Amino acid sequence: MSRSEFDIITHYFSHANLGFAAEGVALGIGDDGAVLSGTGDSALSMSMDMLVGNVHFPASAPARAIATRALAVNLSDLAAMSAKPLCFTLGLAVPELNEPWLKDFSEGLSEMAQRFHCPLVGGDLTRTAPDAPLTIAIQVHGLHGQSKPVLRSGAKPGDDIYVTGKIGDGALALLSLGLKSRLDFSLSKPIDRLSSEAKKYFYEAFYQPEPRVGLGLALGNSINSSIDISDGLMGDLGHILKASNVAAVIESESLPYSDYALDMVSKQSCLIAALFGGDDYELCFTASSGSERKIKTLAKELAVEVTKVGKIVEGSGVSVISGQGQVLDMSNQAYDHFRETAA
């Protein structure tokens, strides 16, 4: 006997591993909507991302991996705003009712939800056409305590520019998974000769990007602007510059690449991957030079690598400077879901 939508939601999505209680959530799954209350005067940030099979992830990927990635990229937005995860909602349009798949998907969500104390509180489950891609909408909600939301618009000339972790891995991960990347550089090491360790590293970089929630929260009032790197440093830093009406100089030699990236492709390709690749879900933020010591201390305490990669200046646009002080010609463009397929 087939289960009804109602039964499926109850069975796979409202159990205690996923729909657990949390302070500030007065009512979770099971009514016309969820109810938040008791959050006092805290500002509430919320962010929605939509992920489509074979656009944002391979449709054939394990359900658990799709789930962890889907929630991680949303939590990354909360990290960028310096919000503490509160809860999330899920809209799921599935081409078929595959219960083992739903079970695995639910387990992947549960893992991330528990790690970040961010329960599922509601949403919608529906069926799409049998040949249509799986489509996931996730909205995350986060609270601001004493610190204000960190926006894209606060960068000031003189600010240092930082990134967390390694950048460029997201795009290289696509290649290492044998998937099409929009970046057309050739591999210095054929994919089938990558070590299993390297393959595992890139697999996790793609499917389990680490949302920098703890650091984002800690940085709060010490930084001036922030964004998460989903479309490549050029594009995302570009959003900060536009919102703040400033320009940036990036020192290419300072960009942090992983050893796996440097082993896989040339250093020039690492640069392209970092600037134009996307899918890194690291933070890019700016802060006055007076905050450098505090930022480094916090990063050390939280064991998150933070690298200073450039400066905010007056003007507009991003200049990338080589180790020899020359401006590099970067005629590529940041990733854009529409532009890339436009004629």
- Site residues for its own copies, window 76-115 (CB under 8 A)? 77-78, 80-81, 83, 89-93, 97
Q: Contact at 8 Å (CB) between 133 and 95?
A: yes
Q: How far is the CB of 266 from its own copies (least distance, A)?
A: 29
Indicate the residue among 143 and 194 with the shorter CB distance to its own copies: 143
Indicate the residue among 38 and 325 with the shorter CB distance to its own copies: 38
Dihedral sign, CA of 55, 61, 65, 66? Answer: positive
Q: Does the footprint of its own copies cover residue 8 (CB under 8 A)?
A: yes
Near its own copies in 113-172, by CB under 8 A: 122-129, 131-133, 135, 137, 139-140, 142, 144, 149, 151-153
Q: Does the footprint of its own copies cover residue 21 (CB under 8 A)?
A: no
Which tokens hold the place of 333? 């463009």
Q: Does the footprint of its own copies cover residue 49 (CB under 8 A)?
A: yes
Q: How far is the CB of 333 from its own copies (least distance, A)?
A: 8
Q: Contact at 8 Å (CB) between 151 and 225?
A: yes
Indicate the residue among 261 and 287 with the shorter CB distance to its own copies: 287
Give how far Cα 270 sits from Cα of 122, 188, 276, 283, Å: 40, 11, 10, 18
Task: Provide the residue count of the chain.
Answer: 343
For 206, the 3-state DSSP assignment is: helix
Which amino acid belongs to residue 170?
G
Selected binder of its own copies within 16, 21, 32, 325 (CB under 8 A): 32
What character string, x for contact with its own copies (CB under 8 A) and - otherwise, covers 285-324? ----------------------------------------
Indicate the residue among 75 and 312 with the shorter CB distance to its own copies: 75
Q: How many residues bind its own copies (CB under 8 A)?
A: 76
How many other CB atoms are there within 10 angstroms of residue 248's CB atom?
Answer: 28
- Tokens 């998937």 sit at which residue? 179
- How far is Cα 290 from Cα 160, in angstroms, rounded to an integer? 10
Give how far Cα 191 sits from Cα of 56, 196, 266, Å: 21, 11, 14
Q: Does the footprint of its own copies cover residue 52 (CB under 8 A)?
A: yes
Which amino acid belongs to residue 46?
M
Q: How far is the CB of 317 from its own copies (least distance, A)?
A: 15
